Amino acid sequence: MKLNDTAISCRNLQISYEADPVIHSVDMEVTPGQLVAIIGENASGKSTLLRGLARLQKLDDGDVYLRGTRCDELHDREFARRVAYLPQTPSVVPDMSVRALVERGRTPHFPTYAVNGSAVDRVEVDNALEQVGLTASADRSLKILSGGELQRAWVAFALVRSPEVLLLDEPTSHLDVRYQRELMQLLSGLKEKGIAIIVAMHDISLAIAFADRVIGLDSGKIAFDRFADSENILEDLGNVTAFEVIIFSDYRRKPCCSA
């Protein structure tokens, strides 16, 4: 596959944290409209890999490409428009409203030194709120939202910049089962817009049920990279994780597993 056919890719990515190697020679390609789940045990390097793709972690070696262009050749503002990253525990002023949070996500599109956006930006904010089902909650304070609503607000924060790539670190953590599935359904629906989505997560069943591909990360190396409906994926999962895999089928007849 040519680099300019991929939404985001990396070649020979190597990253250290406090002088300790964490990511080892990782090659990866994600096409537009594809949802990829990265799974692995704690300290397997999932978060570090996402931060490397998001230009938030210094690379020891290798390159990250956006539509075939090396990311270090892109201006910070252009990169911020095209790639949205949500950390595992985003920080925000508790009294901020949902709308104010989403407006903040639009700032990479504001003219230089501008404090407020244009009419176009305000329309994009409304569109993002509608996409995540929070139009009626736009003026509510973030501190009174449920866990699922708060995660959807953060997704709107990312979507409002109309990114080509969406990177999410453990977005389903601390959510109950209902909100986990609702969030993954929301992300799956975004594929129709051509957004490439990479999600780091622990939940194997969610990964298989909603992702197009599942990448297993083991000690900073890619142990496997398979389509989620591959016949061999459960065997791969058992080899990489410390979980006992129990096989069953979900309502879409895709293989799932439980730890």
In the prediction, which pLDDT does 258 show?
Answer: 47
233: in domain? yes
CA distances from 183 to 12, 210, 213, 238 (A): 32, 10, 17, 26
158: in domain? no
249: in domain? yes
131: in domain? no
Domain limits for position 30: 3-90+163-258
109: in domain? no
Specify the number of domains making up the chain: 1
What span, in angstroms and rounded, lies between the C-alpha atoms of 124 and 132?
13
In the prediction, which pLDDT does 1 show?
Answer: 63
Q: Report the CATH number that the domain containing residue 77 is assigned in CATH.
A: 3.40.50.300
% of the chain at pLDDT higher than 90: 69
Q: Which tokens belong to 115?
A: 């404090």
Residue 44 makes CB contacts below 8 A (sequence gap 6+) with 217, 218, 219, 220
pTM for this prediction: 0.90
254: in domain? yes
114: in domain? no
What span, in angstroms and rounded, lies between the C-alpha atoms of 24 and 220?
6
Residue 206 makes CB contacts below 8 A (sequence gap 6+) with 37, 172, 180, 181, 184
Highest mean pLDDT among 113-117, 159-163, 175-179: 159-163
240: in domain? yes
